[in-house]
Structure 1
Amino acid sequence: MTTNTTHQLTLLSDVSMQSKLFKDSLEKGIQLDVNIVSVSELAQENASQPDLGDFVLIDYHYLDDEKFEMYNQAKSSLSNNIREIVINCPKDVASSHLFKWRNLVGVFYVDDDLSLLLKGMQKIMQDEMWLSRKVAQDYIEHFRCANTVTTSQVYANLTKREKEIIRLLGHGASNLQIADELFVSENTVKTHLHNIFKKINAKNRLQALLWANNNIALEERV
Structure 2
Amino acid sequence: MSATNTHNITLLSDVSMQSKLFKDSLERGIKMDVELVSLDDLDESADETRLSHYVLIDFNYFNETNFELYNQVKLAANTNAKEIVINCPKDVPSSQLFKWRNLVGVFYVEDDITLLLKGMDKIMQDEMWLSRKVAQDYIEHFRCANSVTTSQVYANLTKREKEIMRLLGHGASNLQIADDLFVSENTVKTHLHNIFKKINAKNRLQALLWANNNIALEERV
TM-score, structure 1 as length reference: 0.68
2:129 paired residue number: 130
Give the 3-state SS of the residue equivalent to 2:50 in structure 1.
coil
Aligned-residue offset at 1:147? 2.6
CA deviations over 1:157-215 (Å, ceiling 9, x no partner)? xxx759649969xxxxxxxxxxxxxxxxxxxxxxx99922999xxxxxxxxxxxxxxx7
SS of the residue aligned with 2:60? coil
The 2-side partners of 1:50 and 1:130 are apart by: 26
Aligned residues: 175
Q: Report the 3-state secondary structure (helix = DSSP H, G, I; strand = E; otherwise coil) of the residue aligned with 1:107.
A: strand
Give the TM-score, by structure 2 length. Answer: 0.68
Mark the CA change 1:28 to 1:137 in structure 2 (over 3 Å): closer, same or farther: same
1:79 and 1:16 map into 2 onto residues whose CA distance is 28
Q: Which residue does the alignment assign to 2:77?
A: 78
Distance 1:148 1:55 in 2: 29
Amino acid at match of 1:132: S
**Distance in structure 2 (CA, Å) of the matches to 1:103 and 1:198:** 30
Q: 1:148 to 1:10 in 2, by over 3 A?
A: farther
Q: Describe the shift of the 1:198–1:74 C-alpha distance in structure 2 as closer, same or farther (beyond 3 A).
A: farther
1:8-27 residue pairs with structure 2 within 5 A? 8-27=8-27
User: Within 5 A, what are the aligned runs for 1:211-222?
Assistant: 218=215, 221=220
Match of 2:97 in 1: 98
Question: Judging changes above 3 Å, is the alpha-carbon distance between structure 1 residues 44 and 3 closer, same or farther for their aligned structure 2 residues?
Answer: same
Cα deviation, 1:83-125, whole Å, max 9, x if unaligned, reads 1000111112111111111111000011111100011111111
Alignment-mate amino acid for residue 9 of structure 2: L
SS in structure 1 at match of 2:111: coil
Structure 2 CA distance for aligned equivalents of residues 72 and 142 of structure 1: 21
Distance 1:140 1:198, change over 3 A: farther
Q: Alignment partner of 1:10: what SS?
A: strand
Distance 1:41 1:131 in 2: 29
Q: List gaps (5 residues or longer) in structure 1.
A: 150-159, 169-191, 200-214
What secondary structure is seen at the aligned counterpart in 1 of 2:61? coil
> Is the Cα contact below 8 Å between 2:2 and 2:125 reproduced in 1?
no
Q: Which residue of 1 aligns with 2:205?
A: none
Give the residue type in structure 1 aligned to 2:120: M
Identity of aligned residues (%): 65
Check whether the contact 1:82–1:103 (CA below 8 A) recurs between aligned residues. Answer: yes
Judge conservation of contact 1:3–1:31 (CA < 8 Å) in 2: no
Amino acid at match of 2:94: S
Q: 1:195 is matched with which residue?
A: 179
Separation in 2, partners of 1:139, 1:5: 28
Question: Is the CA contact (8 Å cut-off) linking 1:8 and 1:33 kept in structure 2?
Answer: yes
Shift of 1:80: 3.6
Distance 1:65 1:167, change over 3 A: closer
CA distance in 2, matches of 1:38, 1:79: 19
